[in-house]
Copies of this chain bind each other. A is one copy, B any other.
Amino acid sequence: MKELLQHLKSTVAISDQHLEVVSAKFTEQHFSKKEHLLYFDHYAKRLYFTAKGCLRTYAIDFNGVEHNVSFAVENWWSGDLKSFLNKESAICNIQALEDSLVFSINRENWDCLVREIPAFVSYTRILFRNKLFAQQDRIIQNLSFTAKERYHHFLQEYPNLSQRIPQKYIASYLGITPEFLSMLRSRMKK
């Protein structure tokens, strides 16, 4: 569990005792490549912290087309927050893109930490805020930029991700077809 505790410590001030309490509330889970952690329309019973590996979160539209919403490599969180916090059915699916080690927490334990560990509340507030800011940026970028510009921006912002993730998922994240991304890339080389 050291990756998660390390991430907590690097984000907020927290005592070793409290770290132990946190640690006890999480479950270590292994997922094989292509395995699903969450299915659309089910309840999101857990949130996931990726210690090793890579996850993708995606939605499926009315035509059955998948749209990648986000990726999570080491030290990133995944989960359908709205489903988890409001106990609604999920709009997203989560799938492992590599064999992955994650630490997950259920709602009961989450509420317990929120009640008992002020530093955990601070931690989640920072996480949620950063997510809010990142989403705001992404909305503005989607309105402002062409596909080519969005791809360049993605490469700059997540240089390591583009090595690990199949191109077709990156295309989906950018809102374009894999064929068009492939063409953009071949045009970039010239």
Partner of A128, one of B67, B69, B128: B128
A109 at the interface (CB under 8 A from B): no
Partner of A67, one of B62, B67, B82, B143: B143
Q: Which of A43-51, A131-139, A154-162 contacts B (4 or more CB under 8 A)?
A: A131-139
Q: Are A139 and B133 in contact (CB under 8 A)?
A: no
Q: Known contacts A67-B143, A144-B59: does B136 contact A82 (CB below 8 Å)?
A: yes
* Total number of A residues with any Cβ neighbor in B under 8 Å: 28
Residues in chain B near residue A65, CB distance under 8 A: 144
Residues in chain B near residue A91, CB distance under 8 A: 137, 140
CA A133 to CA B59, docked complex, whole Å: 14
In the A-B complex, the 7 residue pairs with the smallest Cβ-Cβ separation, listed nearest first, are A61-B144, A67-B143, A135-B135, A82-B133, A59-B140, A143-B175, A132-B132
- A residues engaging B (CB < 8 A)? 59, 61-62, 65, 67, 69, 81-82, 85, 91, 125, 128-129, 131-133, 135-140, 142-145, 172, 175
Q: Are A139 and B61 in contact (CB under 8 A)?
A: no
Residues in chain B near residue A142, CB distance under 8 A: 139, 142, 175
Q: Are B135 and A139 in contact (CB under 8 A)?
A: yes
Q: Are B82 and A140 in contact (CB under 8 A)?
A: no
Q: Name which residue of chain B comes closest to A173, CB basis.
A: B143
Q: Name which residue of chain B comes closest to A143, CB basis.
A: B67
Residues in chain B near residue A67, CB distance under 8 A: 140, 143-144
